[in-house]
Amino acid sequence: MHFPEAKKSLGQNFLHDMNVKRRICAAINPQEGEHIVEIGPGVGALTELLLEAGAQVTVLEKDSRFIPLLEELNNKGYKGSIKVIEGDALKDDFAHFIDEPFKLVGNLPYNIGTEIVIKALETPEKFKSITILLQKEVIERICAKPKTKDWGRLAVLCSFLSETKYLFDVPPGCFHPAPKVMSALGQLIPLEAPRYDVPLKRLSHITKQAFGQRRKMLRASLKGLISIEQMEAVGIDPQARPETLSLEDFCTLSRIES
């Protein structure tokens, strides 16, 4: 297949391996008539498979070069099933492109991947699932469990709001141009309600402070926010480091008023 010149600034690595494309599509599991929003469709590597499965696909692409190519899919027998939007996923309110809950998918630009996931999780009720291809290291951080090296703010927030699944690795050779690092597919299924009754903003702030200084004990990293006495009163060791705390522990800390 002939690919356009890749723009590094837009994180362009085009997926060309048909076997991997089919596996990603199977993970998304598109249903006839189901709404799917794809971010960064590029030349439509995944888009066509989603349309073939009968889904109603809305694509959001920043690179204007691809817009006519994507519009062309209307003439390939998918008329009425694809809506093409030229825009920026970091600025546009993609959560409200469709009224009913829908599936969000994307082989996302590495530099904006986490921001898009966090943005999507701010309105979890809008998404049936979020299936994303990103660098392996980021998918590992999204799906990490407590007491591992990857357990950090991203995993705490993602597991607070969703069920996360690490699906499979995608080697550099499956893309053009080949990225320097391994990629992986991850999936988040937003929960109907957060796992604990705590404001997301507060949890986000506490984890930012705690993991921002990962090597420090909580008594130091949370100084000014939560006192040693307050931590002890809820049974959390002020000498602990953040990677040893569970999601429940962070939610307990987040309930404490500053």
Residues found near ligand SAM in the complex (CB under 6 A): 10-15, 39-42, 45-46, 60-63, 88-90, 107, 109, 112
Would you say 67 or 240 has its CB closer to ligand SAM?
67
CB of 15 to ligand SAM, least distance (A): 4
Would you say 18 or 220 has its CB closer to ligand SAM?
18
CB of 142 to ligand SAM, least distance (A): 17
121: which 2 tokens?
């999780």
CB of 158 to ligand SAM, least distance (A): 20
> In this chain, which residue has its C-beta nearest to ligand SAM?
40
Would you say 42 or 152 has its CB closer to ligand SAM?
42
Angstrom CA distances, 142 to 22, 69, 135, 151, 155, stand at 23, 33, 11, 8, 5
Would you say 26 or 193 has its CB closer to ligand SAM?
26
What is the spatial distance between Cα 221 and Cα 51, in angstroms, rounded to a whole number?
A: 49
The residue type found at 46 is L
What is the spatial distance between Cα 249 and Cα 236, in angstroms, rounded to a whole number?
A: 7
**Half-sphere exposure of residue 120, counting CA atoms within 13 Å on the CB side?**
32
Q: Are strands 127-135 and 183-190 parallel, antiparallel or unpaired?
A: antiparallel
CB of 77 to ligand SAM, least distance (A): 21
What is the spatial distance between Cα 114 and Cα 230, in angstroms, rounded to a whole number?
A: 32
CB of 135 to ligand SAM, least distance (A): 10
Would you say 39 or 245 has its CB closer to ligand SAM?
39
